[in-house]
Amino acid sequence: MHEFKYKGKDLYCEDIKIADLARRFGTPLYVYSYHTLVDHFTKLKNAFREINPLICYSVKANSNLAILKALIDKGAGLDIVSGGELFRALKAGCPAKKIVYASVGKTGSEIEEAIKKGILFFNVESIGELENITRISKKLGKVTNVAIRINPDVEPKTHKYITTGKLTNKFGIDFKSAQQIFLLRRALKNIRISGLHIHIGSQITESQPYVAAITKMISFINKLKAEGVVIDYLNIGGGLGIVYDKETPQTAIDYAGKILPLLKRTGLKIIMEPGRFIVGNAGVLVTKVLYVKKTPKKEFVIVDAGMNDLVRPSLYEAYHNILLLQETGDPDVHLRFSRDRRQETAKVDIVGPICESGDFLAKERMMPRLKEGDYLAVMSAGAYGFSMSSNYNSRKRAQEVMVVNKRAILIRKRETNQDLIRNEIMPKGSL
């Protein structure tokens, strides 16, 4: 479920009209529903309560401190992929022993900082990384816990850019190489291999890829046991899909029904790393129509949000449902959804102000007739929306607001011109 619903002619987030938020905070604007966020986390937690997994929210999906704190307060751990995300995780109050650290390219300084902070473990992606962690751990006089990330070579049935569990992807270690690592583990004096990790992709709507990957992992775990190798954790990653358009993704209960029996067989402590499933439908991007431009072959609706604000359509040709709000022109009347214009439709490209032909939010989309000043809500923008945004074209990044019942809390200010240049140094005199 999510808390973005029409009540009469007005689109609400929880108990607040999004129109009021657009008026108060301006656009582009990210709006998040607190109750949608925690509800999705709770549903996953309840579905797997028999095994009491550690659910480490994937920070990369949306790293705003308020989002992180809301989930940490409900018992979540965090899955991080950079030193910056480690900083955010600790700043938001996450216990270090609830942090797991992935990424194929951890630098030496990132590894050292994470060891000093005492994270639960690293998800190791290569032999070279394992050697680096060993070297740094020895220098610090520490014994560091790691999990070996396995590439199970399964087809996740998702977009090729967000597939991570095939041997053609850069992620993880193949079974044969992983087995050799375990056989040589005693030579790694400052490393304790405490678990195994998989993550096969993102926006996966079927259970079969997970069943295939976990089944392979069980076979591998049994092989390790036969060789006297004992581990404590199995991290099954994340990647659960959500509804953007016509998808029919599995619910938390359906997902648990398929894989719980397999997980119980391992006897290991289970870790999960959901991101999009928790935050994806908890956020929308609100944008304003600047111009409607008709050409001999196309009709363009030009809005004030661009690919720098939401890159998914340009990067993946991803679909986001887009709903109309209408400004009446009367400052005392709220922006509202116009049912009256539903019968007047046109096929349009909804594009941003960025100087790129790839700057679009939707192409060939049937929409009610739009005019300058109308407002649009780009749905399902909570995951990989703001977190992938940029200052391209020297554009200031959007504000973010979290709604809790009837309260709207500003959780990120809109950037200023000074923010755009705050780290730049202009040489004095001529060069």
Distance CA 156, CA 149 (A): 17
Taking CA atoms, 210 is separated from 18, 51, 81, in Å, by: 37, 17, 22
Q: Which residues pair with 376 in a beta bridge?
A: 287, 324
Three-state DSSP at 71 gives helix
Q: Supply the DSSP symbol for 170.
A: S
Beta carbons of 152 and 213 less than 8 angstroms apart: yes
Q: Compute the 3-state secondary structure of the chain and give helix, strand, coil in percent, each to the nearest 5.
A: 35, 25, 40
Tokens of 185: 């583990």
Pair 363, 377: CB distance under 8 Å: no
Maximal CA-CA distance, the chain:
75
Q: Which of 282, 305, 314, 307 is nearest to 411 (CA)?
A: 282
- At residue 174, φ and ψ (nearest 5 deg) are -70, 160
Which of these is catalytic: 13, 56, 94, 355?
A: 355
Asked if residue 335 lies in contact with residue 326, where contact means CB atoms within 8 angstroms, the answer is yes
DSSP count for the chain of H helices, then E strands? 12, 20
DSSP-based three-state secondary structure for 119 = coil
φ/ψ region of 235 (left if φ > 0, alpha if ψ in -120 to 50, else beta) reads beta
Q: What element of type H or E holds 283? A: strand 283-294
Spatial CA neighbour of 4 closest among 325, 327, 281, 249 = 281
The token pair that represents 194 in the structure block? 């405490």
| Inter-residue contact 180 to 227 (CB < 8 Å) | no
Active site residue 355: yes
Q: Which residues are catalytic?
A: 355
